[in-house]
Amino acid sequence: MICDAHVHTGYFLRAGYAEPFYYSPRRVVGVLNRCGVDEFVVSSTCAQIQEIGIEDIVREAREMKRLAGRRAYIFFWLSWHLYAQDTEMKWVDVGLFEGIKLHEGETPWMKQRRDALRKVLSFAAKKGLPVMFHSGPDEGCRPLELAAVAMEYPNVRFNFAHCRPMDEMAKVIAECPNVWTDTSYMSIGDFPKLRDYDWHGRLMFGTDVPVWQARETIGLTKRYRKYVRAVKASGFELASNIAFKKFVGEYAG
């Protein structure tokens, strides 16, 4: 069994293409099916494009559900222009979205939109929606900065995605019982380093598919299978699947 906590549909830059390439639900689900992925969290990069509205995001989510059903946990990528379209976040009422994705590099929630961020996270707490934050070494994205948000909203389950910097992320995981992380876009060579830390059962397998094609001319299925082999070799496969189920709120153990 493989559960992927970090998948995307939507527009990405792609090596060899002059314009962003559209990765449709059909294309992405096809890759996951070929690689034996059972369940996954998916959000759409279409949210970053100003011309795309909430109805477009809903339409794509509906197609994803048609193709993958309950295997897909769809997170609404909440960009600033989509938030401005619907500050009450009524998109949740369509019944397609099981979480929220926030990306500081796309909308500076931490640096410039703190009041709106509090409203979003209060909404997530009220609705029982888990929240994924892009994390990394940049200002506003560091795990220790995001930890303050997790502590303020202890009833919200957070995924501080990408597990970087690894030592800082491990410290946050130890201090915040409502924080998970994933391995998305991690170098396969760094997988063995995961054994150096205690992840308290909250490390999830993630890939960031289809991001690899932004920089490399490579088949997504081929690269994905390398990731699957890496997580199996790391010894975290079972633990990561359990972590995934707990994060999305479906753990029955």
CATH number of the domain encompassing residue 142: 3.20.20.140
Residue owning tokens 């996951």: 32
Q: Is residue 208 part of a domain?
A: yes
Residue 67: exposed, middle, or buried by beta-carbon count in 10 A (0-12, 13-18, 19+)? middle
Number of compact structural domains in the chain: 1
pLDDT value of position 250: 83
Nearest to 35 by CA among 191, 224, 206: 224
Q: Is residue 160 part of a domain?
A: yes
Q: What is the average pLDDT across 200-222?
A: 95
Q: Is the pLDDT of residue 207 over 90?
A: yes
Contacts of residue 51, defined as CB under 8 A and 6 or more positions apart, other chains included, come to: none
End-to-end alpha carbon distance in the chain: 16
Confidence of residue 1 (pLDDT cuts 50, 70, 90): confident
Which tokens go with 120?
């979003």
Q: Is the pLDDT of residue 153 over 90?
A: yes
Q: Is residue 16 part of a domain?
A: yes
Q: Is residue 128 part of a domain?
A: yes
How far from 82 is each of 1, 109, 120, 123, 141, CA to CA, in Å?
A: 35, 13, 12, 15, 21
- The domain of 193 spans 2-248
Q: Is residue 195 part of a domain?
A: yes
Q: Is residue 31 part of a domain?
A: yes
Q: Is the pLDDT of residue 246 over 70?
A: yes
Q: Is residue 253 part of a domain?
A: no
Confidence of residue 253 (pLDDT cuts 50, 70, 90): low
pLDDT value of position 252: 59
